[in-house]
Amino acid sequence: MSLDPSPARSRPLASARRAAAAALLGAVLAMVVAAPSASVVAAASVPPVGGGATAVQTDLTSGYVEGIDVSHWQNTINWVRVAAAGKKFAIIKASDSTDYVDPLYVTNRSNAQANGIWTGAYHFARPDASSGDSVREADHFADTVRLGPGDLIPALDLEQSGGLSIAALQTWVTTWLGEVTTRTGVRPMIYTSPAFWKKYMGDSQALADAGYKTLWVAHWNVSTPWVPANNWGGRGWTFWQYSNCGTVSGISGCVDLDRYNGIDLMPVAYSAFKLTATTGGQVKQGQTGSATVGIVRMNFDAEVALDVSGLPTGAAAAWNASPTAETSSALTVSTDAAVTPTGSYPLTITGVGDGLTRTTKVTLVVADGIPPTLVAPWTKLMAGTTLDSTVPVLVSWGATDPSGLSSMPLQRALNGGSWSSVALPNLAVRSTWQSVAVGATVQHRVRATDRLANVSSWATGPSVKALLTQQTSTAIRYSGTWISQAASSASGGSVRYSTAPGANATFTFTGGSVAWLAARGPTRGSARVYVDGVYAGTVSLYASSGHSRAIVFARNFGASGSHRLTIVVVGTAGHPRVDVDGFLRLSIS
């Protein structure tokens, strides 16, 4: 990795690098600036302290794990022999700049893992001031790198400043790290030398404090590395490249030697998780639905705290305990029938664990869970009908549902008896004519089921008794000239009529519906009608042919009460006669 030039350039000979290092013998921090084809060569390229870069061969030391970092410069590697030499990890070059892919990355990774060696991947950074350069390099690396079981977290190899100022380079590095974190799901480690970090990154510990806690420090030929950024924010080094020219069986020539500060590589493994979600189907309003959130773990055993956003109004979510080693968690969503609207709602499920955040999407479908809305049947008298042996009444009701209705039975009970079904032609009807014998009591009820199988309760209307008051009743007060006349076609065998303008008949009653019975014909005239003293309209009894027991006027009140119906003869020229055959009323209880 150290002083890794562009792909077109050859790697400097170890002897030349050692000579450069010797020239700086005794320097506490050394930095070589300006190779002919590169404006800045980082301190990691040469030993920052001490003498020549003598090859150092170390094996597994108590408290440490030994490894290497390699690229195509090592050519074909015998990974069987590397493993036999005790190397437990290899950090492998994957990419460079915005378009270069190390040609041996895939092969090295595969063969190293096949021999039980942990593998990591690094990107050689070439910062420049062009807009979006850091994101392009990060995306190129993320597109190239392969991360999975057996991998360490990825690494940024920072050896060049690209001529950027300290602030600009800090921004470049921060952006690169953020983009790779987003793309891979883990925070990368940072490779640098102490001298480079101090000179070109201002010795800042901001990234260490921001969660990029893994430092891979390059400091050769010393017993203990110097760690920049205030000992990397107090965390110290995690990986240490302690030699740039080691000898390892299975590799021809020099190879960088590294050491891990610990004996278990799991804390720096590609440790991540992702979320999946499957629903148990749609949930009805007022009911509870469920979803299973899968937690796919990649060497990740930290607790994952789960949350969900995007719930509709009135909905509430609950989780089982945040899982630690579990691979799933149950989400239940309860809805409020009164306020949760139907529809499809995209939910975002967020998992947070060990500083990582993952999201997944799931669609909550809230279906109609509310039974059809009903208006109980009501019964009324209507003008334009005829009294025969029974009283014609119109039974009406209401039924609505956003999902549509699948059934709507209407039933009636006569004189307090059992309920029986009333045939309806289709689901669209909301009224039907019924016949009720005078003196009989009828009651109706309706129930509905919508297309999502939500069933309403029965909506029961009041009991209604049909009553007939003949024109001879004392409940009718006549004023003016009225004449009684036998008529076999009349409801009671006779009628009263008047031709005198202003003559009137007032029916005082208790009920919820009232109707005036009269005869229509070519000799009949008009009358003004008043209800409780208020003009209700003028009724014409004229017809080209005779029609007895006609219901010529009706008024419905909804509930029983005391009322007055007054008929006033107009005295129509040529056919002034107005008949009173009787009055129908419905007693509602």
Q: Which two tokens stand for residue 460?
A: 């029961």
Active site residue 157: yes
Q: At what angle do helices 133-144 and 166-184 cross, to 10 degrees?
A: 30
Residues 114 and 107: beta-carbon distance below 8 Å: no
Q: Mind listing the pLDDT tens digit for each residue in 40-69?
A: 222 222 222 222 222 223 334 579 999 999
Residues 142 and 155: beta-carbon distance below 8 Å: no
Tell me, what DSSP letter sits at residue 421? Answer: E
Residue 488 pLDDT greater than 90, yes or no: yes
Tell me, what DSSP letter sits at residue 415? Answer: T
Ramachandran region of residue 347, left (φ > 0), alpha (ψ -120 to 50) or beta?
A: beta
Enumerate helices (H) and strands (E) in the chain, giving the number of each. Answer: 8, 37
Question: CA 272, CA 437: separation in Å to the nearest integer?
Answer: 81
Question: CA 114, CA 20: separation in Å to the nearest integer?
Answer: 38
Active site residue 69: yes
CA 249 from centroid of its chain's CA atoms: 56
Q: Which two tokens stand for residue 32?
A: 């070589």
Angle at the Cα of 182 from the Cα atoms of 302 and 347, rounded to 5 degrees: 75
Q: Quick one: pLDDT band at residue 321, thresholds 50, 70, 90?
A: low
What are the structural domains, with CATH classification, of the chain?
14-268 (3.20.20.80), 272-367 (2.60.40.10), 373-461 (2.60.40.10), 468-588 (2.60.120.260)
Q: Which two tokens stand for residue 432?
A: 């039907």
The residue among 108 and 302 whose pLDDT is bigger is 108
Question: CA 106, CA 264: separation in Å to the nearest integer?
Answer: 25
The residue assigned the tokens 């031709």 is 499
Residue 17 pLDDT greater than 50, yes or no: no
The letter for the amino acid at 191 is Y
Residues 563 and 531: beta-carbon distance below 8 Å: yes
Q: Which of 4, 66, 69, 450 is catalytic?
A: 69
The residue assigned the tokens 């800090």 is 170
49 three-class SS: coil
Question: CA 144, CA 172: separation in Å to the nearest integer?
Answer: 20
Q: Quick one: pLDDT band at residue 281, thresholds 50, 70, 90?
A: confident
The residue among 280 and 103 whose pLDDT is bigger is 103
Reading across the β-sheet that carries 316-319, which strands appear in turn? 272-279, 288-298, 328-334, 316-319
> 3-state SS of 540-585?
ECECCCCEEEEEEEEEEEEEEEEEEEEEEECCCCCCCEEEECEEEE
CA dist 157 → 86, 329, 332 (Å): 25, 38, 45
Least confident residue range of 34-48, 353-367, 482-496: 34-48
CA dist 12 → 57, 97, 328 (Å): 21, 19, 52
Tell me, what DSSP letter sits at residue 463? Answer: -
Least confident residue range of 240-254, 265-279, 389-403, 468-482: 265-279
What pLDDT, on the 0 to 100 scale, is given for residue 358? Answer: 83
Active site residue 326: no
Q: Quick one: pLDDT band at residue 324, thresholds 50, 70, 90?
A: low
What pLDDT, on the 0 to 100 scale, is given for residue 265? Answer: 86
Q: Mind listing the pLDDT tens digit for each residue in 147-189?
A: 877 899 999 999 999 999 999 999 999 999 999 999 998 999 9
CB-neighbour burial class of residue 558 (10 A; exposed 0-12, middle 13-18, buried 19+): exposed
What pLDDT, on the 0 to 100 scale, is given for residue 272? Answer: 65
Q: Quick one: pLDDT band at residue 73, thresholds 50, 70, 90?
A: very high
CA dist 344 → 173, 349, 362, 452 (Å): 41, 16, 10, 16
Q: Which two tokens stand for residue 556?
A: 């419905």
CA dist 156 → 48, 70, 246 (Å): 20, 14, 22
Q: Mind listing the pLDDT tens digit for each residue in 450-470?
A: 999 999 999 999 999 999 999
The number of beta carbons lying within 10 Å of the beta carbon of residue 355 is: 12
Q: Mind listing the pLDDT tens digit for each residue in 489-527?
A: 999 999 999 999 999 999 999 999 999 999 999 999 999
Question: CA 62, CA 85: separation in Å to the nearest integer?
Answer: 16
DSSP-assigned beta bridge partners for residue 494: 486
The letter for the amino acid at 426 is N
Angle at the Cα of 110 from the Cα atoms of 104 and 114, rounded to 5 degrees: 140
Q: Which two tokens stand for residue 532?
A: 């409780």
Q: Which of 159, 179, 258, 401 is catalytic?
A: 159
Beta strands in 440-546 (DSSP E): 441-446, 449-450, 459-460, 464-470, 476-479, 483-486, 494-498, 504-520, 526-531, 534-540
Q: Mind listing the pLDDT tens digit for each residue in 206-242?
A: 999 999 999 999 999 999 999 999 999 999 999 999 9
Q: Mind listing the pLDDT tens digit for each residue in 283-296?
A: 999 999 999 999 88
Tell me, what DSSP letter sits at residue 139? Answer: H
Least confident residue range of 109-123, 132-146, 245-259, 260-274: 260-274
Least confident residue range of 61-70, 190-199, 263-272, 468-477: 263-272
Nearest CA to 216 out of 272, 156, 136 is that of: 156
Q: What integer best gives the mean pLDDT of the chain?
A: 88
Residue 3 pLDDT greater than 60, yes or no: no
Q: Residues 110-117: what's their mean pLDDT?
A: 95
Least confident residue range of 15-24, 150-159, 526-535: 15-24
Q: Residues 99-108: what's their mean pLDDT?
A: 98
What pLDDT, on the 0 to 100 scale, is given for residue 299? Answer: 65
Cβ-defined contacts of 382-387 (< 8 Å, 24+): 382/515, 382/551, 382/554, 383/515, 383/551, 383/552, 383/553, 383/554, 384/551, 385/550, 385/551, 386/547, 386/549, 386/550, 386/551, 387/468, 387/491, 387/517, 387/549, 387/551, 387/584
Residue 130 pLDDT greater than 80, yes or no: yes
Residue 305 pLDDT greater than 60, yes or no: yes
Tell me, what DSSP letter sits at residue 266? Answer: G
Tell me, what DSSP letter sits at residue 473? Answer: S
134 three-class SS: helix
107 three-class SS: helix
Residues 41 and 159: beta-carbon distance below 8 Å: yes
Q: Which of 4, 133, 151, 157 is catalytic?
A: 157
The letter for the amino acid at 505 is A
CA dist 296 → 146, 182, 304, 499 (Å): 17, 17, 11, 95
Tell me, what DSSP letter sits at residue 11? Answer: P
Tell me, what DSSP letter sits at residue 82? Answer: H
DSSP-assigned beta bridge partners for residue 307: 350
